[in-house]
Amino acid sequence: MKRPLLPATCKVLACLAFSLCSIAGTALAETPATSAVLTASDLQRFMDDYVPAQLKRKNIPGAVITVVKDGELIFSRGYGVANVARTAPMRPETTLLRPGSISKLLTLVAVMQQVEQGKLDLDRDVNTYLDFTVPTPAGGVPVTLRRLLGHRAGFEHHLKDMIQAGTRPEPLGPWLRHALPPRLFPHGDVAAYSNYGYGLAGYIVERVSGERFDDYAKAHILAPLHMDASTFEQPVAAARLASVASAYTGAGNTPVPAFETIMPGPAGGLSSTGADMGRLMLALLNGGEHLLAPATLAKIMPTPLPGAGLPDGLLGFEVDDAAGNRFIGKHGLTSAVVSQLALLPDAHFGIFASYNSVGDAPGELLAAVAKRYFQRPPTSAAPIATENGDAQAAAGTYQITMRADSSFVRLPALMQQLRVTSAAGGGIHIDAMPGSMRETAPMLFTGADGARATFRHGADGRSYMQASMVPLAFEWQAVAWYLDKRFVLPAVLASVLLIIVTLLAWPIGALLRRRRALQFGAGPRERRAHRLVRLALLVDLLALGGTIWLADVSTDLMRMNASLDAALLVLYSVAWCAVLATPLVVAIALRFWRDRVGSTWARLHHSLIALAMTVFSYFLVTWGIAGTTLNY
For the chain, give every domain's residue range.
11-373, 387-482, 483-622
Decide: 631 and 178 in contact? Cβ < 8 Å: yes
Around Cβ 528, how many Cβ atoms within 10 Å? 12
d(C-alpha 315, C-alpha 438), whole Å: 29
The per-residue pLDDT for 549 is: 96
The per-residue pLDDT for 513 is: 65
pLDDT beneath 70, residues of the chain: 1-34, 251-252, 304-313, 513-514, 517-522
Around Cβ 137, how many Cβ atoms within 10 Å? 13
The per-residue pLDDT for 29 is: 39
Assigned CATH topology for domain 483-622: Four Helix Bundle (Hemerythrin (Met), subunit A) (1.20.120)
DSSP category for residue 170: P
Q: What is the pTM of this model?
A: 0.91
The per-residue pLDDT for 306 is: 58
What pLDDT digit, counting tens, does each position of 581-599 carry? Answer: 999 999 999 999 999 988 8
Decide: 65 and 51 in contact? Cβ < 8 Å: yes
Question: Which value, in Å, is the radius of gyration of the alpha carbons in the chain?
Answer: 27
The per-residue pLDDT for 209 is: 98
Following CA atoms 601, 606, 612, 616 in sequence, which dihedral angle do they give, to the nearest 10 degrees? Answer: 160
Sign of the Cα pseudo-torsion (426, 431, 435, 437, in order): negative
d(C-alpha 345, C-alpha 348), whole Å: 5
Which amino acid does the sequence have at 425? G
> Taking the chain, what is the end-to-end CA distance rounded to the nearest angstrom?
20
- CB within 8 A of 384, min separation 6: which ones? 439, 440, 441, 442
The per-residue pLDDT for 518 is: 67
d(C-alpha 261, C-alpha 282), whole Å: 28
The per-residue pLDDT for 83 is: 95
Decide: 327 and 342 in contact? Cβ < 8 Å: yes
- CB within 8 A of 428, min separation 6: which ones? 391, 394, 395, 420, 421, 422, 436, 437, 439, 445, 453
Q: Domain 11-373 sits in which CATH superfamily?
A: DD-peptidase/beta-lactamase superfamily (3.40.710.10)
Domains 11-373 and 483-622 share a fold: no
d(C-alpha 517, C-alpha 498), whole Å: 27
DSSP 327-341: EEEEEEE-SS-EEEE
3-class secondary-structure state, position 178: helix
d(C-alpha 506, C-alpha 604), whole Å: 16
Of 402, 410, 454, 457, nearest in space to 428 by CA: 454
The per-residue pLDDT for 345 is: 94
d(C-alpha 233, C-alpha 222), whole Å: 12
Using CA atoms, how far residue 589 sits from 102, 261, 600, in Å, is: 57, 53, 12
